[in-house]
A and B are shown apart, each in its own frame.
Chain A
Amino acid sequence: AQKVTQAQTEISVVEKEDVTLDCVYETRDTTYYLFWYKQPPSGELVFLIRRNSFDEQNEISGRYSWNFQKSTSSFNFTITASQVVDSAVYFCALSGNAGNMLTFGGGTRLMVKP
């Protein structure tokens, strides 16, 4: 069975601080995909990134960066210089193949205060 754990249920930071959201996963699949989604107060799920299990290279996209450590089964997400608009619930998710039957973590609610 697959499992995704986001130990941080809620994080509060002040604008311009850096913040890291943790994600730990469990799977027996040798090929799998990891995702991060953002859910702002309006409710939609916004795709942020997909990473396959064979690509451990870290990725940076603007203020966002992701650290994939297969050895520790972690896929952490860092926001640099956080902004109020980053306030949302962030979900880490896992699938055994691309885009199919996502297993979500419990989500981390990030609150960025001005």
Chain B
Amino acid sequence: AAGVIQSPRHLIKEKRETATLKCYPIPRHDTVYWYQQGPGQDPQFLISFYEKMQSDKGSIPDRFSAQQFSDYHSELNMSSLELGDSALYFCASSRQGGELFFGEGSRLTVL
């Protein structure tokens, strides 16, 4: 069965650079979520979208933005990267009110 696809799986950036992560949800899933997991930490909710509109917002820095496109894929844009942004970024998808399925994560390293 198709799962949530995230790209790239690994990304290395320098401080103050910009990074973009992509997420392709499971087909027919209308809701996308982004989570950030720092080293040794639990995942923290960043933001979610339902039917291409932002539905909830968590602890997402102002330097980050995200959107969901007409084909339901989502992108997380991160600017002015800081060392503390180094983390595993998970995308998850669900049907509205349904179970949450996570992608394999994108590991961002900021040097």
Q: Do A and B share a complex?
A: yes
Assess whether B105 is in contact with A44, with CB atoms less than 8 Å apart. yes
Give the residues in chain B near A35, CB-CB below 8 Å. Answer: 100
Interface of A is mostly: loop
Assess whether B99 is in contact with A44, with CB atoms less than 8 Å apart. no
Q: How far is the CA of A47 from the CA of B56 in the complex (A)?
A: 22
Interface string of B77-111 (1 = CB under 8 A from A): 00000000000101010100111111111010000
Assess whether B48 is in contact with A101, with CB atoms less than 8 Å apart. yes
Assess whether A91 is in contact with B104, with CB atoms less than 8 Å apart. no
Assess whether A44 is in contact with B98, with CB atoms less than 8 Å apart. no
Interface size class of B (residues with CB under 8 A): 20 to 34
Closest to A44 in B: B104
Interface residues of A in 9-47 (CB under 8 A from B): 35, 37, 42-47
Assess whether A99 is in contact with B90, with CB atoms less than 8 Å apart. no
Q: Does A104 contact B (CB under 8 A)?
A: yes
Closest to B55 in A: A100
Q: How far is the CA of A37 from the CA of B105 in the complex (A)?
A: 14
> Which residues of A are in contact with B by a Cβ distance under 8 Å?
35, 37, 42-47, 50, 91, 97-107
